[in-house]
Chains A and B, each alone.
Chain A
């Protein structure tokens, strides 16, 4: 490898890594929430992100709606879809062996992806909005990435504030600590599950709307986000919500750093290697957390 790596390149990579990482954090927070509250890994999490991205695409394409304003559409819409999925399906497997919930959400994901194929075709779509970059010193900032980053950070912080300060948020945290204790304290656990799934789906949809302006949209785009969100949870420690935020940033950095040396495609393999390494060396996550 005879590429010369300058400090400026490293700085650029760190910036890109953090910009990408904030989105990973946002999406992973949703997956962590469902896992924390119900001990269910939602394989359809990335699928919901894909639907969020399509919501943004169509509202931009047909209505000319500003993609960032479309968060106001995609988030409530996917909140409702999440609630519906929880109410009709996931609710029935919360206490079953994890094999059931994994397979169930996998089935839901397949059905949704192919409905999207049928409805939207597998053509690659994109939202042409805020292209280009601005320069700050030696570093280039892609406009859409910076704005997405700002949205992702704001939403994540808001989600945290919500979990820490509001009554519903506290009930959610109590339920993820111990369902029995939450029940004894008079918390309606079924309702908490419903809200958690809804909120998690809204977070994933927000991620979808935000990536819609940056990447190609197609029905199978979600799977990789399910995988990466899971990786983020593993990095941060299962059941550890702040860990999910840090894990996302870390994943963004590692991916971008590896793209200095390898092609972008292979940096996906690097993320995988990272997962395997963490599982080997620190199975409870880098930041510690509850083991499953």
Chain B
């Protein structure tokens, strides 16, 4: 079973690596957005699914990364690759600033602080017009680079999924999960929970920052309401929950399923599908806390790493 899974995965990755050589422009852009959502849903999973601290404002890191990269590219002439990485660093700095006070306390404080963070970042970015272009946004003068961004997005999704795998399977990584499992017991057993929480949070902020930079470069234009949109947070949460939070492949499964459905069907019924998002969250929380993958794992007795 495990062997078959690994072989299948290797074939899939190989196929995805070759995909741009034979795909249309639309196909590549579709896939790079899919990778973006995998990366975002999985990042949320790191802090909320595996470590157990719900973040309602993860888009703040995405937006911060987008703007940091955007400013570096447009006003300082950086290449988009280092600029996106710098976007990740900017997100990490923000995570440290917010995480240090908010993660010392239990769940709700952190959750709602994150809800506010997104609003605040949007307001601040609009306010500092000189740097960010304010409400009129930032435009990128450069030519499209879909294929390169495809690979960069794929790497981001792979990296953060790798991190989730590492957390679930390694002794060091499991220490992150003890926070979700029982923070008090973890402390009493000598695990410095404050440090691991902050570590998980920083880890979960880095990739959205990078992905934000890549997104900015790909769309060529960003404005506060587009990159600090609550719906982005909602979407990553729904994807991770639907597929299965706290698992390695759940967020991937959720992102793929919901993104495909969204592109094909729901985009035409905007508010309907957002109502559906709300309903999915309610149903998953009440009836299947480990999402679709959790149901499958239980029914077919799959190992936790699948």
Complex Cα distance, B115 from A22, in Å, reads 23
A265 within 8 A of B: yes
Asked if B281 and A279 make an inter-chain contact with CB atoms under 8 angstroms apart, the answer reads no
Most chain-A CB neighbours within 10 Å: which of B48, B109, B112, B127?
Answer: B112
| B111, closest chain A residue (CB) | A102
A residues near B98, Cβ cutoff 8 Å: 276
| A118, closest chain B residue (CB) | B271
Q: Which residues in window 95-125 of A have CB below 8 A to B?
A: 97-100, 102-104, 106-115, 117-118
| B269, closest chain A residue (CB) | A118
Q: A106 is contacted by which of B56, B104, B107 (Cβ under 8 Å)?
A: B56
A residues near B241, Cβ cutoff 8 Å: 103
A227 within 8 A of B: yes
Binary A-proximity of B122-144 (CB < 8 A = 1, otherwise 0): 01101100000000000000000
Binary A-proximity of B247-275 (CB < 8 A = 1, otherwise 0): 00000000000000000000000011011
A269 within 8 A of B: yes
A residues near B105, Cβ cutoff 8 Å: 279, 283, 292
Complex Cα distance, B281 from A115, in Å, reads 15
Q: How many A-B residue pairs have CB under 8 A?
A: 134
Whether A269 contacts B123 in the complex (CB less than 8 A), given A107-B279, A276-B102, comes out as: yes
A263 within 8 A of B: yes
B65 within 8 A of A: no
A residues near B285, Cβ cutoff 8 Å: 93, 100, 103-104, 107
Q: Which residues in window 99-125 of B have CB below 8 A to A?
A: 100-102, 104-109, 111-113, 115-117, 119-120, 123-124
| B282, closest chain A residue (CB) | A107
Q: A98 is contacted by which of B102, B107, B115, B124 (Cβ under 8 Å)?
A: B107
| A279, closest chain B residue (CB) | B101
Asked if B112 and A269 make an inter-chain contact with CB atoms under 8 angstroms apart, the answer reads no
Asked if B111 and A104 make an inter-chain contact with CB atoms under 8 angstroms apart, the answer reads no
- How many residues on B have C-beta within 8 angstroms of the other chain's C-beta atoms? 43
Complex Cα distance, B104 from A115, in Å, reads 36
Complex Cα distance, B123 from A263, in Å, reads 11
Binary A-proximity of B23-55 (CB < 8 A = 1, otherwise 0): 000000000000000000000000010001010
| A41, closest chain B residue (CB) | B108
Complex Cα distance, B221 from A254, in Å, reads 36
Complex Cα distance, B230 from A114, in Å, reads 13
Asked if A98 and B108 make an inter-chain contact with CB atoms under 8 angstroms apart, the answer reads yes
User: What distance in Å separates the Cβ of A219 from its nearest Cβ neighbour in chain B?
Assistant: 9
A residues near B61, Cβ cutoff 8 Å: none
Asked if A43 and B56 make an inter-chain contact with CB atoms under 8 angstroms apart, the answer reads yes
B286 within 8 A of A: yes
Asked if B275 and A111 make an inter-chain contact with CB atoms under 8 angstroms apart, the answer reads yes
Asked if B286 and A93 make an inter-chain contact with CB atoms under 8 angstroms apart, the answer reads yes
Asked if A227 and B119 make an inter-chain contact with CB atoms under 8 angstroms apart, the answer reads yes
B278 within 8 A of A: yes
Asked if B286 and A108 make an inter-chain contact with CB atoms under 8 angstroms apart, the answer reads no
